């Protein structure tokens, strides 16, 4: 344990703290001393015990106000985190839906392409058959003209 010598209300005190915490203890005591002196200047000399009690009450009030704000920020952060998870879920759902739509469009495109190729082949066959029939008709008509 380390010892720290501090001055509070013009009196010397020796306090113990964990090793390595000396600077932190000194900083805390500077803040407490400043609050104590501010109250002493603002309220006058009400007596050391009463000023110490008022100082402690003010510090606890600040602590609870800070704690309340921290708790409020934690709740806000929790709400934001929940909203983020919800938004993330919506984004993934949207992405999955769009991927399904794209896959369906690709299948429809392939089916349409196959249908066009099939119809093209049928059209080609129809043209070929019609051409053959016309050629046969012309050939038959020539034969009929020659035989007459």
The pTM (predicted TM-score) of the whole model is 0.56
| Residue 46, helix vs strand vs coil | coil
Q: Which one-letter DSSP state was computed for residue 44?
A: -
pLDDT in tens, 92-128: 999 999 999 999 999 999 999 999 999 999 999 999 9
Write down the pLDDT at residue 132: 94
Burial tier of 36 (Cβ tally within 10 Å: 0-12, 13-18, 19+) = buried
pLDDT in tens, 53-98: 999 999 999 999 999 999 999 999 999 999 999 999 999 999 999 9
- Of 103, 40, 97, 90, residue with least CA distance to 111: 103
Write down the pLDDT at residue 10: 85
| Ordered domains of the chain (ranges, CATH) | 1-45 (3.30.160)
């Amino acid at each position: 344990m380390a010892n720290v010598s501090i001055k509070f209300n013009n009196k010397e005190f020796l306090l113990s703290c964990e090793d390595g915490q000396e600077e932190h203890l000194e900083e805390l005591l500077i803040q407490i001393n400043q609050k104590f002196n501010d109250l002493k200047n603002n309220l006058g000399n009400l007596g050391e015990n009463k000023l110490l009690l008022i100082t402690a009450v003010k510090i606890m009030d600040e602590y609870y106000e800070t704690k309340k704000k921290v708790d409020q920020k934690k709740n806000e952060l929790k709400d934001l985190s929940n909203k983020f998870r919800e938004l993330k879920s919506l984004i993934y759902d949207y992405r999955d839906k769009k991927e399904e739509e794209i896959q369906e469009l690709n299948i429809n495109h392939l089916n349409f392409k196959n249908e066009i190729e099939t119809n093209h082949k049928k059209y080609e066959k129809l043209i070929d058959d019609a051409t053959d029939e016309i050629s046969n008709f012309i050939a038959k008509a020539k034969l009929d003209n020659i035989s007459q």
